[in-house]
Amino acid sequence: MKLYKLYQIKNPILNFFYPNRCPSCEKFLSSGETVCEICAEDMLLEQDSYCHQCGKINCFCNYHKLYYDKAVIACHYDKATIPAILKLKLSKNTNFAYFSARILAQRLQSEEYGKLDMIIPVPMHNTKLRERGYNQASLIAKEIANLLDLPCREDILYKNKSVAQHQLNAKQRAENINHFHVRNILIQNKHVLLCDDVLTTGNTLNYCAELLKQVGASRVTIASASTTIAKPKEAILT
């Protein structure tokens, strides 16, 4: 079966009012499709094309202290994926969240990732959440939770400052992550899947994983809808 047919959403009523389009190339799609066949193939990152420890296409495990144990990635953050993520962030088309979540859920069923206890999205500050109406990491996390029949908890990690990571340079990003906080509930000895839309420097996911470990999580796997090729200066600074 073709990739784009494997990862479908079924929402024919919504599609009647809002024609369904590929979030990357804008081609019209049928109601069940999330991305077109060509873009699906361009976006997909094969399981053997990235490091399953750090989640990067060119592994940076030896250079950084990682607080997460494993990584699962769906797509290459490249020319087909970038417009789809941008539309997801701007609330224009959320198809990419469903597309990537289904790939991640399918990959997480492999034995190498082990049994998960809960899914936690990387949080967004409340002001930004009110402006946009949703957190893109949360949309992806909820869909994975739905597919794998796991709880999705948004009350454990939170953020108290609304500076977007993509607006900052590497040094500022490292400082900005200090605005993430954790509530010490229900996390003891749990295997947590920490979810985000893009893995770039890894600062955010690594810091959130460190916080979860500090309050007793036994294991943290990160799930990112996409990843980049690491540049030397994009070092994890923690």
Q: Considering only 38-46, 144-152, 162-170, 219-227, which stretch makes contact with Zn ion by CB under 5 A?
A: 38-46
Size of the site for Zn ion (CB under 5 A): 11
- Would you say 25 or 186 has its CB closer to Zn ion? 25
Q: For 198, how many CA atoms within 13 A lie in the half-sphere containing its CB? A: 19
**Subset of 179-238 contacting Zn ion (CB under 5 A):** none
Selection from 98, 83, 208, 211 nearest residue 145 by Cα: 98
**List 3, 61, 82, 168, residue binding Zn ion (CB under 5 A):** 61
Query: Measuring CA to CA, which residue among 59, 88, 62, 83 is closest to residue 71?
Result: 59
Question: Which residues 6+ apart lie within 8 Å of 107 measured at CB?
Answer: 47, 72, 74, 113
The distance of Cα 142 from the centroid of its chain, to the nearest Å, equals 11
Nearest-angstrom CA–CA distance, 75 and 224: 8
| CA-closest candidate to residue 182, choices 230, 228, 214 | 214
Q: Is 84 in the site for Zn ion (CB under 5 A)?
A: no
Looking at the Cβ atoms of 51 and 186, the one nearer to Zn ion is: 51
Give ∠ CA 200-224-190 in degrees, rounded to 5. 120
- Choosing from 45, 54, 75, 208, the residue that interacts with Zn ion (CB under 5 A) is 54
Q: Which stretch binds Zn ion (CB under 5 A): 44-52, 101-109, 181-189, 204-212?
A: 44-52
Candidate list 4, 33, 34, 36; residue touching Zn ion; CB under 5 A:
36
Tell me: does residue 86 bind Zn ion (CB under 5 A). no
Q: Which of 51, 86, 163, 215 binds Zn ion (CB under 5 A)?
A: 51
Which residues would be at the binding site for Zn ion (CB under 5 A)? 22, 24-25, 27, 36, 39, 51, 53-54, 59, 61
